[in-house]
Structure 1
């Protein structure tokens, strides 16, 4: 008789079958997640999210069913809800509706998976602020996502999106929207309702135009439209008052965009089909610092290139330039000029290899225009002291400039030439001035920018307060240790640059100027700052206190919620640690807030 009982039905293949098991997540990971509120499951080869992850805050842990005494650190009923779930770099093809069992999620990272759709339950995560969906296979953005009103950051690059829902405009708290490397051919007009948006990446799509509503994004600082099929950009982009960087490389533009945005500093229009630079277009870029025009078809530069008086970097690589205007050498701030790949004639090849300074020096030697004449001068001769007066800058650019002369005083001839004219910008930097030029007061109703950097000022005269329209004051690289209290009357002052001086404390008067947005105090000897008074500067977004003598950083500084850029490197304090500092301003501010005594 056989040893095996034959009474029941036997599965002859039972020993070869393995039951489908749920992916195992280490018990220690789940316990740590209950304590920290963070769970990192990146790069684990998951094809689905384990149920015990969704039910982390719903089910009791197995230990709770046992008759055990819990220590303070193991009391599961006192643990925190899951706020951060990282599932990047797995093989997820779908997400369960059970995601709604994690209603406290603030960050959900699903990038680098194989998702082709999203569950409707995702719309129930009302606390969600950061959603990362890049590098998936999404062809449609579910409308339900647009109900996540607390969402701050949405990343969707490298998907298969061909369009966006009109409901996108409901995400009115969004500050960062990444849509690069999709198949977008158009954008919804509701995009303009995202008025808190600061960064918009539309690069590597199939866009042929931008909706006019884009101009309503008045908080936007960076707009990236590289590698599309744009033939023009809306003229009303000039309404984007905070736009600083605009990327238009690899499109089909035939002319330089006319964008007089007041804060535009960097414009990238390389790899287009631009053949000519119009004076009107140049005039609109009044405050541009970097202009990239490489890989176009530009044949000549107009003499009015001097309109770009703030330009520091000009890239003209691989164009069709055969000559350069001598006026190029009159750009006062130009530090980098790139010309490789142009059929230039009349300029020796070895001169081009010597760098920007030598080339500009050569071009200055070619200037043959007659020296400027001082108006109302009765003599037929031009005095030597008048030869350098640039009447073009005074009349057209409203700029009074006498820079890099190493002079101990500003000649009267310069003020005489500008007498009776409107002057908005004054640049007397890189001289040997020891006091504020008295005759500056004559332009008190028009001067908005004053640059006295790189001089020998030991004090700032109270008369500066008479420049009532001043918005920008540059006093870097002087010998200042204090500022006059009269400076507090400058109600329109937005930025103050005081780097490389001798300040031992944060200037008291700056606490009184509510309009301030930028304060640069790096490389001084500042030993402390009063966060209680600093928090009253409700417009302050940039504060540089690097390379000073700060022994500690007051935690209350974290309450200055308007700060977007806080620089503290090079000080002798021990905390925050370098690892936290390296994460940027947001991490430092969060750390400081966490140290405020409750």
Structure 2
């Protein structure tokens, strides 16, 4: 028979072909996962979760069957159940009910996939602590997820959610809930039952109103409702007593919300339709430090703005303001005033371009009468113009100021005048001080804020650590290279400014101060930061490490999920790339987490 006339057609390449099989995970990874309890399959191009991952806790490997003489320490397949499964940045389209075969999971990361639905079997993962589902195509959340009693963090941003189950309120231990970038029009009233919630992100949805039940979230520190269709903020939100940051940008508000929240430090209401500021609303902001009012229709700034004694930054960009009240100059802590895009009259252009300090000086010069009680004390050591002791500020505002004098020490007359007055704020910035004034200790029962910026300090006296009421310290623009370990005794300290000093490493004592919320360390010489210690600062929301000497950013820094603002610009590291950095803090942290090795 001719070789051209064979009766049966034979595939000559059959021996070289392989059948298409389901995706598998390398044996070495599975072995390591059974030892550590963690499996990282981030960015592997998976379209589904391999079966050998689902069955990792169940199937016994061939190695175990071949040799039964293994010692207990060698039996790696029995050492640990899987607790952490990272599947982010793949193309997974579905999760099957087999996920219930991994009941020991505490962390399940599925962000950046193509999931359109979730199985009810997720409800059987009762040990789950963290569930990341952002950047998928989910249209609903199964009710079974709401039975996860141990769940503390649930991130659902960048999905297609149009509604949420009323059972959501059963997640009694939830501390972080991110629902941003969805299609939500209403929220379930049960949201108010999440008593442990501290961070709630509702931005970039289609909400027209907020439920009154939000008032019951008395532990929420950060609430973000930006980019919605809100026309009003319910008065009941004033009961959210722990709230420190409130974002209401890009809505349709016509009035500044009346929110007597005693802890509110940052209020963002830019890009709304606010036309006027009322004295009653301003009076509520008793602890405000940052007030953003940009891109509104405000015409008049009321004189009562002078009551915001804690205000440090005021953004009035792009409004319709023609006249600035001279009372702005009476704000003792204001160091940033943004006014671009307003039709201001009566103020020379050169004054506006010189910055906040010069503008406030100019406005202060328009106050014709000196504050009542101002007394001049002349000494041989300073010029008469430098020795004004403002008794009114000391008695009425509890404010002790001796700033911009270029003095090498603070006159005793100033401390004498403030004796027994319960001074809360001391501002000795912009002088030539080489040491911290020792007499500050006299105010240890009342002093909550110190500004020693722009001096020549080379060390920070441990005696100042006796000021146990301190909440804010500004030590920027000095010559400091270390901080004393005694600083850890300041258990109420929330923010410390150390910009423009000589630190070569992150100050060791700061790792031990769990009350810290803001740490500014830009323009130093930092070459390292320890994320494993930094993650213990559970309240840290703002960290500025820009313009230092960081050659690499450790991926574990991504686990510092409390960070709301992380600044890393101006360092010589190569990754994260600039394209990632421009996407903001959340994107940088997510990128870093994805690079954590198992």
Counterpart mapping for 1:175-574 below 5 A: 175-328=175-328, 331=331, 333-340=334-341, 342-344=342-344, 351=350, 354=353, 356-357=355-356, 360=359, 364=363, 368-372=366-370, 374=372, 411=387, 413-415=389-391, 417=392, 421-431=395-405, 432=407, 434-435=409-410, 437-438=412-413, 440=415, 442=418, 444=420, 446-455=422-431, 456=433, 458-461=435-438, 464-476=441-453, 477=455, 479=457, 481=459, 483=461, 488=466, 490-498=467-475, 507=484, 510-517=487-494, 523=501, 539=515, 564=540
1:225: Cα distance to partner? 0.7
Q: 2:115 touches 2:137 (CA, 8 Å); kept in 1? A: yes
SS at match of 1:34: helix
Q: Deviations over 1:129-168 (max 9, x none)?
A: 2211123333332222122233222111232323333432
In the alignment, the residues of structure 2 paired with residue 482 and residue 23 of structure 1 have an alpha-carbon distance, to the nearest angstrom, of 59
Moved more, 240-249 or 66-75: 66-75
Alpha carbons of 1:295 and 1:53: their partners in 2 closer, same or farther (altered >3 Å)? Answer: same
Moved more, 27-36 or 205-214: 27-36
User: Are 2:554 and 1:579 equivalent residues in the alignment?
Assistant: yes
User: Are 2:83 and 1:107 equivalent residues in the alignment?
Assistant: no
Q: 2:111 touches 2:136 (CA, 8 Å); kept in 1? A: yes
Name 2:85's counterpart in structure 1: 85
In the alignment, the residues of structure 2 paired with residue 559 and residue 543 of structure 1 have an alpha-carbon distance, to the nearest angstrom, of 14
Alpha carbons of 1:465 and 1:510: their partners in 2 closer, same or farther (altered >3 Å)? Answer: farther
In the alignment, the residues of structure 2 paired with residue 373 and residue 358 of structure 1 have an alpha-carbon distance, to the nearest angstrom, of 20
Name 1:27's counterpart in structure 2: 27
1:248: Cα distance to partner? 0.9
In the alignment, the residues of structure 2 paired with residue 568 and residue 269 of structure 1 have an alpha-carbon distance, to the nearest angstrom, of 23
1:212: Cα distance to partner? 3.4
1:568: Cα distance to partner? 11
1:59: Cα distance to partner? 0.4
1:255: Cα distance to partner? 0.7
Name 1:402's counterpart in structure 2: none
SS at match of 2:554: helix
Moved more, 537-546 or 154-163: 537-546
1:253: Cα distance to partner? 0.7
User: Are 2:140 and 1:164 equivalent residues in the alignment?
Assistant: no
Alpha carbons of 1:370 and 1:552: their partners in 2 closer, same or farther (altered >3 Å)? Answer: closer
In the alignment, the residues of structure 1 paired with residue 33 and residue 196 of structure 2 have an alpha-carbon distance, to the nearest angstrom, of 32
Moved more, 105-114 or 465-474: 465-474
SS at match of 2:271: coil
In the alignment, the residues of structure 2 paired with residue 462 and residue 369 of structure 1 have an alpha-carbon distance, to the nearest angstrom, of 32
Name 2:574's counterpart in structure 1: none
Q: Deviations over 1:279-303 (max 9, x none)?
A: 2223333443433323322223334
SS at match of 1:121: helix
Alpha carbons of 1:159 and 1:510: their partners in 2 closer, same or farther (altered >3 Å)? Answer: closer
1:540: Cα distance to partner? 5.8
SS at match of 1:131: strand
SS at match of 2:149: coil
Provide the aligned C-alpha RMSD in A: 4.9
Name 1:401's counterpart in structure 2: none
Alpha carbons of 1:88 and 1:354: their partners in 2 closer, same or farther (altered >3 Å)? Answer: same
Q: 2:162 touches 2:182 (CA, 8 Å); kept in 1? A: yes
The alignment covers a number of residue pairs equal to 544
Name 1:403's counterpart in structure 2: none
In the alignment, the residues of structure 1 paired with residue 214 and residue 114 of structure 2 have an alpha-carbon distance, to the nearest angstrom, of 31
1:21: Cα distance to partner? 3.7
Name 1:393's counterpart in structure 2: none
1:125: Cα distance to partner? 1.6
1:224: Cα distance to partner? 1.2
In the alignment, the residues of structure 2 paired with residue 577 and residue 65 of structure 1 have an alpha-carbon distance, to the nearest angstrom, of 45
Name 1:55's counterpart in structure 2: 55
Alpha carbons of 1:407 and 1:306: their partners in 2 closer, same or farther (altered >3 Å)? Answer: farther
1:72: Cα distance to partner? 11
Alpha carbons of 1:506 and 1:323: their partners in 2 closer, same or farther (altered >3 Å)? Answer: closer
Q: 2:459 touches 2:483 (CA, 8 Å); kept in 1? A: no
1:170: Cα distance to partner? 3.1
SS at match of 1:426: strand
1:581: Cα distance to partner? 7.3
Alpha carbons of 1:212 and 1:451: their partners in 2 closer, same or farther (altered >3 Å)? Answer: farther
Q: 1:474 touches 1:497 (CA, 8 Å); kept in 2? A: yes
1:524: Cα distance to partner? 6.7
Q: Deviations over 1:528-561 (max 9, x none)?
A: 9998x996x7756667899999999999968967
Q: 1:136 touches 1:158 (CA, 8 Å); kept in 2? A: yes
Q: 1:200 touches 1:223 (CA, 8 Å); kept in 2? A: yes
Q: 1:241 touches 1:261 (CA, 8 Å); kept in 2? A: yes
TM-score by length of structure 2 reads 0.73
In the alignment, the residues of structure 2 paired with residue 499 and residue 69 of structure 1 have an alpha-carbon distance, to the nearest angstrom, of 65
Q: 1:566 touches 1:585 (CA, 8 Å); kept in 2? A: no
In the alignment, the residues of structure 2 paired with residue 156 and residue 51 of structure 1 have an alpha-carbon distance, to the nearest angstrom, of 25
Between structure 1 and structure 2, the one with the greater Rg is 1
Alpha carbons of 1:28 and 1:80: their partners in 2 closer, same or farther (altered >3 Å)? Answer: same
In the alignment, the residues of structure 2 paired with residue 89 and residue 503 of structure 1 have an alpha-carbon distance, to the nearest angstrom, of 43
Name 1:592's counterpart in structure 2: none
In the alignment, the residues of structure 1 paired with residue 227 and residue 6 of structure 2 have an alpha-carbon distance, to the nearest angstrom, of 76
SS at match of 2:99: helix
TM-score by length of structure 1 reads 0.73
